[in-house]
Structure 1
Amino acid sequence: MTYRKLPSATLAVMMATSVATSAFSQDLNVLTWEGYADPSFIDQFQKQSGCTVNATYVGSNDDFAPKLAAGGGVYDLISPSIDVSGLIIDAGFVEPIDTSRIEAWEGIYEKFRKEPGINRDGVIYGMPYSWGAIAFMYRNDAFDTPPTSIAELFDEKHAGKVALWDDKSAIYVAARLNGDMDIYNLSDEQIAAAKARLVEQKPLVRKYWATAGELVDLFAGGEVYISNTWAGYQSSLLAEKDIQVTEFIPEENAEGWMDSWMIVKGRASDCAYKFLNMQITELGQCGVANVNGYSAANKEAARACMSDEQFIALHQDDPDYLDSLLLWKPLGERTEAYTNAWNAVKAQ
């Protein structure tokens, strides 16, 4: 989907509608990623808080703005990544977070609290939640020599066994393979070159996957044996099925991300703040770490609920690990160019 800046008049009508529909109840509707409202920890929250959580899942960051534009008043909380959170703030879809109501706020890594993508003129619009890498993953039984490069996904010998996330970040992958490493500031010519590379790859691709479960099924069924992946999550689901896979950061590097919870305009209920407080303390932080394999934004909570081995494995002792990756950045006015290029690849 393509994100376009909405006219101020349209935004005014939408925000009025959102506020008008915000008669609060104990129901809490969240628009989020798989695993962020998992019963393993959400059930306990519901029992303790009296709030009922209803989750709608997205498969791409490009899903948030269109769903909010189509009727943001039905959602209370969203959890976009750092590359689109700024767009959502600028569109007026979310409201500032009262950090004084977040008891564990100071426990969040300072580098995340100060991220430009959730800050505007000294006002904070997002509560950092989790972070990690968009790594690559392969089935161990399909490779005699472990792959080390993105080029493996473009090699004809893997025809029909390749998958790729159905997201505009596919442009980032192809651009790096082309040697264009400034992936968030690509020129029109570089985007066109990435698009051409993806079109060339398309006959090799078994599936552009949209959800974690979809990729897991493809790997488990032997339909696919190499893809990019949400590091830590799909590999853990495959381990439960006794499918041996390995994640790797290729020589062309990998993208990094950080997700934050944001309050939809006019939806700052008591349940919303109870939910935020749960998600940034031990229950929510180790909840997402145990379900998704993602790193936690609150180091203090992570230390309290993780084993030493898990703490180190998730880089909780080294948040600068994220700096070694290509942390997602807002594309601004260039969003449309990237998204249109990816849609054009799929339309071929």
Structure 2
Amino acid sequence: MRKLCNVAISAVTCLGLLSQAFAASAGELNILTWEGYAADAFISKFEEGSGCKVTASYVGSNDDFAAKLAAGGGVYDIITPSLDTVSMMRQAGFVQPIDTAKVEGYGDIYPEFSKSSDIVADGETWAVPLVWGSVSLIYRPDKFATPPDSIGVLFDPANKGKISMWDDKSAIYWTARYLGYDNVFDLSDEQLEAVKAKLIEQKPLVRKYWSSAGELTELMANQEVFVSNAWTGLTSKDVNNLKKGFEVVEFTPKEKAEGWMDSMMLVKDTPNEECAYKFMSFMNSAGGQCGIAASTGYFPVNPKAVDGCMDAEMKKERQVGNIDFVKSLVMWQQPKRLDKYLEVWNAVKAAP
């Protein structure tokens, strides 16, 4: 616990982290989430049907959840971290168990997600799967004589100044795979040093580390960068919809793409539990699942819920029922030595 609290936020003691005073009022729901996860197109329907007013704040990295919760103020009721962060939220004491009986349609969620060892631990369920997808590579085909097929495109000096990377510890996963390491979530000290050296070597090639999908969209739309890793489906859709006279294309590198799944977690001692469970049920319904899929381009976790709101073409595009695709990805896990990974990533960013 001491190590986890130190990782979460060094400036605040564990006692402070676990003793937040909540100020939100009943009938309100404050969500700490990702871009596109609280779009008015579907959130307004939830508000009308539930009587619960939603206020959303956004993160650009999974590392933001601990820092924002640790800051206190009692402003969050639900958080939506990725699978590699769920265990840390539980172990740090930020969240409370989920009563799945209060989440309508919970049994229809892919068991590969709902029964994950990160979701179900210590005899309790700690999160409700929300949406999933992959992290692939995105590039401008008109800027490359030969289509790239490897993570190596992010480390090629020929692309100096036109490369971007997500400002997230997952940069370590990408680099480790590029260096040929299979144990990307349990790297040795020697391997981590090699990864750090490679990322520092790459740094002069990087135009900017992006912190949100919107920022990456701007970088590509303004022709500042030509290649980056990206959340599959979202940035390509947004850039191409701008019709700037060029298109961007996604591809899965030969080293494989990463896979992720974001879940809804109930912040400990929230006074808005009733609204929180209504929200979880809505997001697991057709309105929520098709709504978030339309907003983001990501994939639903409940195939039954989307049966009537997605046509056959959209179901194929969003991998509905295609669990084999999940198995083809390097699915995120919490690194065995999370503190060490964060230390390495911070050292890379601090390097000249």
User: Into which bin does the TM-score normalised by the smaller protein fall?
Assistant: over 0.9
TM-score of the two chains, using structure 1 as the length reference: 0.94
CA drift at 1:13: 4.8
Give the conservation status (yes or no) of the 8 Å contact 2:17–2:69: no
Kindly report structure 1 stretches of 4+ aligned residues shifted beyond 2 Å.
9-18, 21-24
In the alignment, the residues of structure 2 paired with residue 246 and residue 92 of structure 1 have an alpha-carbon distance, to the nearest angstrom, of: 41
Give the conservation status (yes or no) of the 8 Å contact 1:72–1:264: no
- For residues 35-92 of structure 1, give each alpha carbon's deviation from its aligned partner in whole angstroms, at most 9, with x where no partner exists: 1111111112112222111111001111111211221622000000110100111111
Counterpart code for 1:264:
V
SS at match of 1:250: coil
Question: Percent identity of the aligned residues?
Answer: 47
CA drift at 1:304: 2.1
Gap change, CA 1:137 and 1:65, over 3 Å in 2: same
Q: Which residue does the alignment assign to 1:335?
A: 338
CA drift at 1:4: 4.3
Give the conservation status (yes or no) of the 8 Å contact 1:73–1:264: no
| Runs of at least 5 residues in structure 2 that lack an aligned partner in the other structure | 7-11
Q: Which residue does the alignment assign to 2:60?
A: 59
In the alignment, the residues of structure 2 paired with residue 11 and residue 75 of structure 1 have an alpha-carbon distance, to the nearest angstrom, of: 18
The yes-or-no answer on 1:245 pairing with 2:238 is: no
Q: Which residue does the alignment assign to 2:9?
A: none
Counterpart code for 1:120:
A
Q: Which residue does the alignment assign to 1:215?
A: 216
Give the CA RMSD over aligned residues: 1.7
Give the conservation status (yes or no) of the 8 Å contact 1:24–1:269: no
CA drift at 1:12: 4.7
CA drift at 1:270: 1.3
Counterpart code for 1:111:
E
Structure with more of its chain in helix, by fraction: 1
In the alignment, the residues of structure 2 paired with residue 121 and residue 320 of structure 1 have an alpha-carbon distance, to the nearest angstrom, of: 28
The yes-or-no answer on 1:284 pairing with 2:283 is: no
Work out the number of aligned pairs and report it: 342
CA drift at 1:218: 0.6
Alignment of 1:166-315 (within 5 A): 166-242=167-243, 243-267=246-270, 269-315=273-319
SS at match of 2:321: coil
Instruction: Compare 312-321 and 165-174 and name the one that shifted more.
Output: 312-321
Instruction: Compare 70-79 and 33-42 and name the one that shifted more.
Output: 70-79
In the alignment, the residues of structure 2 paired with residue 12 and residue 26 of structure 1 have an alpha-carbon distance, to the nearest angstrom, of: 29
In the alignment, the residues of structure 2 paired with residue 6 and residue 338 of structure 1 have an alpha-carbon distance, to the nearest angstrom, of: 15
CA drift at 1:302: 2.0
TM-score of the two chains, using structure 2 as the length reference: 0.93
In the alignment, the residues of structure 1 paired with residue 201 and residue 102 of structure 2 have an alpha-carbon distance, to the nearest angstrom, of: 51
In the alignment, the residues of structure 2 paired with residue 219 and residue 157 of structure 1 have an alpha-carbon distance, to the nearest angstrom, of: 18
Q: Which residue does the alignment assign to 1:6?
A: 5
In the alignment, the residues of structure 2 paired with residue 203 and residue 15 of structure 1 have an alpha-carbon distance, to the nearest angstrom, of: 40
Q: Which residue does the alignment assign to 1:92?
A: 93
CA drift at 1:140: 2.2
